[in-house]
A and B are shown apart, each in its own frame.
Chain A
Amino acid sequence: MQSPIRRYHSMSLARKDELIGYLFVAPQMLGFFVFVLGPILAIFLFSTQERNLLTGVVNPVELANFEYMLQSDRLFPKVLANSLIFTSGLVPLNIVLALILAMLLTRKLRGMIFFRTLFFAPVVTSAVAWAIVWRFLLQGDQGINQLLSGIGIDGPNWLREPGWAMASVIVTRVLKTVGLNMIIFMSAIQNLPREYDEAASVDGANFSQIFFRITLPQLAPTILVVLVLTVIGSLQVFDHILLMTNGGPANATAVLIYYIWFQAFKVFDIGYASALAVVLFVIVLTATIIQWALRRRFIYNEQ
């Protein structure tokens, strides 16, 4: 038997490099296997079991959890629809707003630092504090509605009327996270070559022509990344909803991730919660693949 050290010395340089490379990524890979891949695989296994956290009962039930989900669970279609509404409201609003802010705040004007800080501040604010402050602002006849009544508008009971509650959680969540996307867009815009803009404006292009035909196409790779991250993030918004509405009123803001949490940690039905998590996983995966496939059509200068 050769000792490991001898064996190492007798290796070719390329093999040595390879081995050292693996050693360097080993801590990260180990963490990935134990804390990411392991749980994901476990979820798939659990989703085919009747599994109760409290009693410790575990029984294989094959696809019974999915059958119940699709055939008998009256809440499942509701939370799925809520998740779709939440994401399709949050993502466009977030990206358009981030883009507008980034365009404005990359101008070289006085006081830009102040506004950049202002819009980025919510990102580093505690999610709990953010939700609670907004709950106070969005009361039935206090806060924002008091201001509105000052100009003769009778505002809705934001967090307690189903449609408005969903809109309120979306908008307050966008305001919380838009700063992050704004920063990503700003750094992308600042790295764009100025020559194209200048050439276009010499040729007589107006602002909107420059924006839609020159700037936007160059930003496409960044927009794709931001889009993918924002969609994934939007399907995982949990604490915000728990604190603002606790899923109410009448389940109007109960999204899929909230329902997973409820089944897992209130009902202790880990099997069913895992089946729901598998559905969420498939949705996120599909959304990401579609977006990735679309990049060929919209991105011209991918490196």
Chain B
Amino acid sequence: MRVPKGFFVSILCVFVLLMGVSVSAQDEPVTLRYTLWIAADSPQVALFNELAAEYNAQNPNVTVAFESIPFADYQSDVTLQLAGNNPPDAGWIVEGAARSWVESGVLADLAPALTADESYNLADFSESSLELWTEGDALYGVPFSTSPFLVLYNRDLFVEAGVHTPDELIGIDEWNWENFALTAKGIADNTDAYGFQSVDAALYTGNFWATLVPIMRGFGGDPWSADGTCQFNTPESVAGLQFVQDMMFTDQSMVPPGAEVDFYAGGAGMTIGQLSRVNRLADAEFEWSIAPLPQGTGGYEPVVGQAAMVVFNNSQNRDAAIDFVRFMTTEENVARIAQFFPPARESVLSSNAVIESNPLVPTDLMQSAVIEPIQVGRVMPSSSQFPRIELMVRPLLDEIWVEGADVQAVADSICDSISPLLAR
């Protein structure tokens, strides 16, 4: 039998057509690039990879590649990738930069996808925890880490100096900033170590907010108000700044400018930090513990640092990225990452997942120094003009860290220089 040529051709055409349909019906394979600022070989990323593998099992076409960028370069690297039209699909953003990112319009709105999924239960996140990431009805980030600032201390130095430890002071309801300064002075006077080191020793050359905001708020002050009014020069804020200057020069209990000291190597009795810093003490050669921030003159004012997962608008795989962020922040998965990142989900916070999550921290301290502060704490300040404000504030603060400097006068000039920026 002779088969006409046309027959083969039409068979071939049908075949090609079917292939085309089947390819478009079955989703094309995508790899999501997800940027974060912790080391690629850290246990946190190992857990994230585990979660991504589970997601891949449910969605075989989606794989996720986590890309680690050091924190110091993170903002500029991601921005350059966006400007170079090669955006990551998803990633992390830290609280200080939140407003500038949210207002820049480069982030994708996650609200439609998250509210569409009833089992996700977006209402489980407290309103205050979403505040920074919200604009109108749009939600540009899901906070995965709400980490309160707390005091880390070297118990050996307290014993050597013969001063009350924070837990003893808490026991008699005397854990306030005044006694914080007194114990720091006791340690500085009676041991070779300093009493207090700023957060990551970065007060003079790096992130000074982390040290100053908890102390300023403890005295009832704040760098600026929610409506963008500068408050550096209010009596309360000045009292906080004066407190730091006094510890530095009058008591000489705080690590002064120009000294390279490391709390984590035993160089100071106390420092302020977050839960993630506890891992750095796992191999410490001294006895250590943590405590909540001291009571302030205006009551207890816990301060919370925040980081959120976001999706970039220009991502080629935007919908897949949004769905992956949804998956990473479901109740079940938030509970699993809670051992590293204190959650913003109320249901997880009140479950046992957090309180027993960190083998280095006993449950009672987890409750008092981590969980309670998250529930009542306020997030660090943010502004769309953050880098410009920092540029103005840093050199002026340097003028305060000089013996005998007039704190009020410098605080006034800080407000003079940043008020126009805050008004934008």
Residues of A within 8 A of B (CB): 52-56, 75, 135-136, 138-142, 157-160, 245-251, 254, 262, 265-268
Contacts and interface: CB of A to CB of B under 8 A. Distances in A.
| 4 nearest CB pairs, A to B | A140-B258, A160-B258, A265-B76, A160-B257
Contacts of A265: 75-76, 79
Contacts of A55: 104-106
A248 B205 CA distance: 7
B388 interface: yes
Given A158-B258, A159-B258, 10 more contacts: A53-B79, A53-B82, A54-B100, A56-B83, A136-B260, A157-B256, A157-B257, A249-B398, A265-B75, A266-B387
A285 B79 CA distance: 31
B399 interface: yes
B294 to A, nearest CB: 27
A267 B204 contact: no
A158 B259 CA distance: 10
A139 B259 contact: yes
A140 B82 contact: no
Main secondary structure of the interface of B (DSSP, over half): helix
B395 A248 contact: yes
Most chain A C-beta atoms within 10 Å of own C-beta, residue among B79, B101, B204, B390: B79
Contact of B258 (A56, A75, A139): A139
B279 to A, nearest CB: 23
Contacts of A160: 204, 257-258, 401
A53 B401 CA distance: 34
Contacts of A266: 75-76, 387, 390-391
A246 B391 CA distance: 11
A138 to B, nearest CB: 8
Contacts of B388: 267
Contacts of A53: 79-80, 82-83
A163 to B, nearest CB: 13
Interface string B384-407: 000110110011101101000000
A140 B394 CA distance: 20
B394 A267 contact: no
B206 interface: yes
Given A245-B205, A267-B391, A56 B106 contact: yes
A249 B82 contact: no
B395 A250 contact: yes
B260 A135 contact: yes
Contacts of A75: 391
A209 to B, nearest CB: 46
Contacts of A262: 387, 391
Contact of B106 (A54, A142, A250): A54
Q: Which of B104, B388, B395 has the most CB of A within 10 A?
A: B395
Contacts of B256: 140, 157
28 contacts: A53-B83, A54-B100, A54-B101, A54-B104, A54-B106, A55-B105, A56-B82, A135-B260, A136-B260, A138-B258, A139-B260, A140-B257, A140-B258, A157-B257, A160-B258, A245-B205, A246-B205, A247-B394, A247-B395, A248-B204, A248-B205, A248-B394, A249-B398, A265-B76, A265-B79, A266-B76, A266-B390, A268-B76
* Most-contacted residue by chain A among B75, B82, B388, B398 (CB, 10 A): B398
A142 B259 contact: yes
A138 B257 CA distance: 11
A245 B205 CA distance: 7
Interface centre among A136, A249, A251, A268 (most CB of B within 10 A): A249
A247 B398 CA distance: 11
A249 B204 contact: yes
Contacts of B398: 248-251
Contacts of B204: 160, 248-249
A160 B396 CA distance: 13
B387 A267 contact: yes
Contacts of A268: 76, 79, 387
Nearest to B394: A248
Nearest to B417: A74
Interface string B158-189: 00000000000000000000000000000000
Nearest to A52: B104
A144 to B, nearest CB: 12
A177 B101 CA distance: 40
Given A246-B205, A248-B205, A250-B399, A54 B79 contact: yes
Residue among B76, B205, B398 facing the most chain A CB atoms (10 A cut-off): B205
Nearest to B76: A265
Interface string B61-94: 0000000000000011001101100000000000
Contacts of B82: 53-54, 56
A143 B206 CA distance: 22
Interface string B83-126: 10000000000000000110011100000000000000000000
A54 to B, nearest CB: 5
Given A54-B106, A55-B106, A136-B260, A246 B387 contact: no
B367 to A, nearest CB: 38
Contacts of A157: 256-258
A273 to B, nearest CB: 12
B416 to A, nearest CB: 11
A140 B56 CA distance: 55
A43 to B, nearest CB: 15
Contacts of A249: 204, 257, 395, 398, 401
B206 A246 contact: yes
Contacts of B387: 262, 266-268
Contacts of A245: 205
B100 to A, nearest CB: 7
A56 B101 CA distance: 12
A158 B260 CA distance: 13
